[in-house]
Homo-oligomer: A and B are copies of this chain.
Amino acid sequence: MTKKYSMGIVQRLCLKDVETMAASQGFKMTPQRRMIIGFLEGATSHPTADEVYFAVNKKIPMTSRATVYNTLNWLKSVDMLRERFEGDKVRYDPNCERHHHFICRCCGLVEDIHFDSLQDLGLIDLPQDHSVESYEITLRGICKGCE
């Protein structure tokens, strides 16, 4: 499964975009894939593979872990899903817009921070020795619920 797909700036994973991409790249849509994508679309947090597995099986009690991983890796390989390591597990982030994160050191909550809500760093300040293409900011602290 090589990376063949690029659609420019994808804001957020959505079924419609995946259908388009699949059709043009020769991938097949299946009920399982639609369920998985549907769940990710609506996810406000950053689910783990297992959370996807259980959520999908609550609706269609017949989706194997292999299919879940296969689908997640497929979406990752076409840049429609991001993998992040948070706390101590891998999580999947359907938000492909540039954004930052807030992580609560108490409960592990991860919240997206809209890119524009933090000031732009300004490329002038970035180190010159490497070619920097993007950046993201991770804020750490205590969330409202834990305070």
Interface residues of A (CB under 8 A from B): 83-85, 88, 90, 102, 104-105, 111, 113, 117-119, 121-122, 125-127, 129-144, 147
A102, closest chain B residue (CB): B130
Given the known inter-chain contacts A117-B127, A130-B104, please indicate yes or no for A138 contacting B141, CB distance below 8 A.
no
- The reply to whether B130 and A144 contact each other, CB–CB distance below 8 Å, is yes
Pick the most buried of A121, A133, A141, A142: most chain B CB atoms within 10 A of its CB: A141
Chain B residues with CB under 8 Å of A117's CB are 125, 127
Please report the C-alpha to C-alpha distance between residue A125 and residue B121 in the assembled complex, in whole angstroms. 12
Contacts of A119 in B (CB 8 A): 121-122, 125
- When C-beta atoms are compared, the residue in chain B nearest to A109 turns out to be B130
Can you report 14 A-B residue pairs in the complex whose CB atoms are below 8 A from each other?
A: A102-B127, A102-B130, A113-B127, A117-B125, A118-B121, A119-B121, A119-B122, A119-B125, A130-B141, A133-B142, A134-B139, A134-B141, A135-B138, A137-B138
